Structure 1
C-alpha cells in the first residue's frame, strides 16, 4: 500500500475513535443525569413517607405546652438565671453549663418558630409574651444578685459573651436545626446538647450584669448575642417546621412572603455579625504581627509581658514590657516601622525594657512581675473601695479622699456644712476611723471659727480642756496656719509645741495668762498659695 493510500485510512480510524469516545461520554453523562434524577425522586419519596409518619397534631400540642407560661417555667427561669450569674461572677464554666441545662427558654422560642411557620398570629403573641416575661424575670434577678454581690469584676466568661460574630450565628443555626428536628421526631434527649451549644441564659445574665454595673458596652454586646441566638433558633425552627409540612395550608403567595422574611431576617443578622467577625480577625492579625515584630528585635531568651494592642483606630497602639538581657536602642521606632510595613497602617509603640542579668531565670522574673502586678491591682482595688466608703460616710466626692495604701493612711477633705462646728467634724473623723480599723484616717476640716482657750500658770484652765483639745486637733488637721493672740498666747504656744503642734503668735499678744483667741492665718491677697474653704 502506498503512503498516499495509508494517510486517508489513518484519518478515518482517528475519526472513528473520536466518535466512539464522544458517544461513551454522552452515554455516561446521560447515565449520571438519570441516576441523579432517580436519587432526587427517591429522596423526595422517602421524605414524603417520613413526613406522613409525623403526627402533626401531637407535635403541635407538645410544643405549645412547652411554650406556655407556667409556674414551672417561671421557677426554672429564675433558678437558671441565678445559677448563670453566679457562675459568671465566679468565672466557673461548670456552673454556667448547669444554668444552660436548666434554662427553659428554648420551649417558647421553638414554639415561636412553629407559629411563624404556620402563620398563627395568636400563638406568636402568646410565645412572645412568655419570652418577654421570662427575660424580664431573669434580668431582674440578675441585677439584684449583682447589686448584692461584692464581686463585680468583668471575668473572662463575662467578656466572652460581649462580642458576638458570624460564628455565633452559625452555631445557633445548626444547633437550632438539630433541636427542632429532635422535637419533631420525638428525640428530646438531643435538646441537652442544643441547650449547651446555643447558650441562651448566660448571655441574658451578662445583659443583667451590664445593666447592674452600668457598663453599657457589655450590656449591648451581650444583648446582641442573646438576640442573635433567639432569632436564629426561632427562624431555624420555622424552617424545619416548613420542611415537615407544618405550613401545608399556606398559599403560594404566603409561602413566598414567608421565605423572603426568613431569608431577609438572617441577612439582617449576618451583616453586623460579619463586620464583628472581620474586626475580631483584624485584631488577631494585628496582635500576631505586633508580637512577631517585637520578637524580631528581642529574640529568645527575651520574654514579652504586659502585651496590649488597640487596633480599633489609627494609629494602631501597641504597649508591651520586655524582659531582656541586652537593651535595644530605638526599639520603639524599629517595631513601629516593622508593624507599619507588615500591616500598611500607622502604629504607635511603647516598649518598657527590663534588664535581667544572665544568671536570672527569665521565666521566674516574669512570674515575679506578674505577682507584683497582682499586688498593685489589689492595692488599687483597696484604694478605690476605701475612697468610696470614706467619701460616702463624709458626704463628699471621692476626689476629696487621698489614700496611701503603703502607710495605711487616708485623708478626707471635708466640705463646709451649714450650722456645723469643728466639734462635729472631729466626731466625724472618729466615726471614719472606726469604719476602717488598722488605718489612720485624718479629716481636714473647713476653716471654721476656732475655740478660745484660757491659760494660767503655764497650764490649761480646767474648764478649757475640751476647747484646747479641739484647737489642737484643728491646728494639726487644717491646711492653714493658726495664729494666737491675747493674754497668754505665748504660754499657749509653748503648751501646744510641747504636744507637737506648731502655731504662731501675734506681734501684739500680751504676756502672762488669760483668754487666748485663735484664728486661721489667711494668706495675703497677692499670695498664690491655697486659701481657706
Structure 2
C-alpha cells in the first residue's frame, strides 16, 4: 500500500506530538522523584498524626479562638477576627485528613474527623452561648459576608490548603499558614452559632455551607499536593486514578452552586449601580438629587427599590416611569417606592440676578438684600431637610428655622412606645445638633412599672422606664398625677398585707416623682373578691405593678 505526501505529513506531525508528550512525561517523573527525595515522608506523616489527634488542649484552644472570633463578628472588627486566628488549632486535623486520604490511612482519617467534629461542636456551642448572653445581636457586615459563599471563597480555600500542605511537608511557616486556614474556617463556625442563637436558618445554613466548602477544599488540596510529593505512591496508578476522580467530582460539585452564587452577587452589584445611575431619569438632573436608595433582591420575586429624591418640582407618575425603565434594564420585575421631597433652591437664581444689579449705583442696598435672601433660602432648605428626616407620622409640626427650634406632635402608630418616641427624639437631635427638637408622643395609657413578687422596691431594670415616663409627662406638660399601686392575690390569706404592699409601691413611686417636681397622689388598690378572676384574663404579672395617671 502506498502513502501519499499528505499521509506522510500527518504521521510526522503525530510522531512529533508523541515525542513531545514523552519528553514531558520523562521530565515530570524526574521532577517528582527529586521532590520525593527532598522530603522525609515518615517524619511528616508522624508530625501530622501528632498535630491532628484529639486532646483537651485542642478543644480548649478551639473554644478560645471561636469566642474571640464571635466577639469580633458582633463588633464588626476585622482586627479582632484575625487576632482570633492566631490561637486556632484547626490546621492539625485538616492536615491529617489530607495526608490520610493520600496514603489511604483510614484509622488516621477517622481520628482526624473525630477531632474536627469535637472542634466544630465546641466552637458552635461557645458562639451560641456568647450571642445569647450578649446585649449586641444585630447583624453586622462581617456576619453577612460569611452567609453567601461564592466561587472566590472556594479559590481562597484551595490556595490556603496548598500553602498549608507545602508548609507542613517542608516543616516551615506552619504557624503563619495555620492563621490563613483558620481564617477560612473559624469565622464561618462562629456565624453558624450566631444564626442558631438568633433563630435564623438562612444565616446558619449559609455559614455552614461556607465552612464545609472550605473544609473539603483545604483537605483535598492537601491531598493533591501530598501526592505530588509522592505520599501514598506505593498504592499504584489505580488508586491514584480513583483519588483524582473523587477530587475532581467534589470540586466540580462545589463549584456549581458557588459559581451560581457569584453570578448572583455580580448581578446584584451591577443592578445597584444601574439603579443609582437611573434613579433621576424622570427628573431634571440639574434640579433633583438623590437622598437615599435601598435595593432588595427577594428570591424569585420582584426587585424592591426604596428611594428618596430631593426635587424642586413633584413629578407625577415618576414611580411608574422608573419601574418600567429599570425592569427593561435589569430584566426582572421592579417595584419602586419613590418619595419626593420638595426643596426650594431658587435662592441661587435670585443671587445671580442681584449680582448683576449690584454693578449699578444701587450696589450696596442690593448686596444687603441679596444676603438676606440667601439666608432665607438656606433656612428654607434646612427646614426641608429636617422634615424629610422625620421617621414617623406627625399630626402637627411647629418648625422655626430662624431660631432652630422644632416641636413635632406624633400621630398614634402601632408598635411605638414611650421609649421609642424618646429614642427617636434623641436620634433626630443627634442628626441635627444645631436644632432644639421636641417630640410630643400621642396621648395614651402610660406603661406599667413592674415589681418583683412581694417587693415594694423599684428594681434597677425599671429605672430607665421611670425616666421615660418622666420625659413624656414633661412633653405633655403634666404637673400632677395619680399613682395607683397593685398587689396580686398570691397572699390572699394576708389580705391586709397585700393592701399595704400595693400602697407602699405607690408611695415609693410617688416619692421619685415628687423629687422631680411633680405632685403625686398615691393610692393602693387590692380587690381580692374579684381580682383572681381578672388575673386569669389579664395575667398575674399585671398586678405586680404601679400605674401613673395624669390628672392635671
Superposition TM-score tier, normalisation by shorter sequence: 0.5 to 0.7
Alpha-carbon distance in 2 for matches of 1:119, 1:444: 78
- Partner SS for 2:299: coil
Equivalents in 1 of 2:213, 2:384: separation in Å?
40
Structure 2 length normalisation: TM-score?
A: 0.63
Query: Residues 216-237 of structure 1, C-alpha deviation per residue, up to 9 Å, x if partnerless?
Result: 2111111111111111111111
Q: What SS does the corresponding residue of 2:233 show, helix, strand or coil? A: coil
Cα distance in 2, alignment partners of residues 147 and 345 from structure 1: 39
Match 2:52 to one of 59, 64, 67: 67
Cα displacement (A) at 1:201: 0.9
Structure 1 residues 411, 43: closer, same or farther in 2, change over 3 A? same
Larger Rg: 1
- 1:405 maps to 2:413: no
Provide the rounded CA distance (Å) in 2 between the counterparts of 1:131 and 1:59. Answer: 20
CA distance in 2, matches of 1:349, 1:120: 59
1:333 and 2:320 equivalent?
yes
**Secondary structure in structure 1 of the residue aligned to 2:307:** strand
CA displacement at 1:338 relative to structure 2: 0.4
Aligned mates of 1:399, 1:353 — CA distance in 2: 26
Specify the alignment match of 2:512 in structure 1: none
State whether residues 164 and 174 of structure 2, in contact with CA within 8 Å, keep that contact through their aligned partners in structure 1.
Answer: no
Q: Contact (CA 8 Å) 2:160, 2:177: kept in 1 or not?
A: no
- Equivalent positions of 1:359-374 (< 5 A) are none
**1:189-268 pair list within 5 angstroms:** 189=174, 191-192=176-177, 195=180, 198-268=183-253
Matched, 1:102 2:91: no
Query: Which of the numbers 12, 18, 37 marks the counterpart of 1:52?
Result: 37
Q: Check the 8 A contact 1:198/1:229 in 2, yes or no.
A: no
CA distance in 2, matches of 1:371, 1:110: 58
Distance apart, 1:334 and its partner CA: 0.9
Secondary structure of the residue aligned to 2:109 is helix
Q: CA deviation at 1:25?
A: 12
Structure 1 residues 321-330 or 123-132, which shifts more? 321-330
Given the superposition, is the C-alpha separation of residues 36 and 367 from structure 1 closer, same or farther in structure 2, using an over 3 Å criterion? farther
CA contact (8 A) 2:86 2:179 kept: no
Change (3 A) 1:236 1:357: same
Deviates more, 1:250-259 or 1:334-343: 250-259
Provide the aligned length of Structure 1 versus Structure 2.
417
TM-score, length-scaled by structure 1: 0.66
Please state whether the residue corresponding to 1:200 is helix, strand or coil: helix
Kept after mapping to 1: 8 A contact 2:88/2:179: no
SS of aligned partner of 1:322 = strand
1:298-313 equivalences under 5 Å are 298=283, 299=285, 302-313=289-300
The separation in 1 between residues aligned to 2:387 and 2:29, in whole angstroms, is 63
SS of equivalent residue, structure 1 residue 296:
coil
**Which residue among 333, 342, 352 is the counterpart of 1:346?**
333
CA distance in 2, matches of 1:83, 1:368: 42
Structure 2, gaps ≥5 residues long: 348-376, 393-413, 423-439, 471-481, 490-495, 507-518, 531-542, 544-552
Instruction: List aligned pairs for 1:68-147, cutoff 5 A.
Output: 68-147=53-132
In the alignment, the residues of structure 2 paired with residue 445 and residue 296 of structure 1 have an alpha-carbon distance, to the nearest angstrom, of 61
CA separation of 1:267 and 1:339: change in aligned 2, threshold 3 A:
same
| Partner of residue 309, structure 2 | 322
Q: Is the 8 A contact 1:78 1:137 kept in 2?
A: yes
> Does the residue aligned with 1:439 lie in a helix, a strand or coil?
helix
Instruction: Give me the CA root mean square deviation.
Output: 4.7
Give yes or no for the alignment of 1:438 onto 2:467: yes
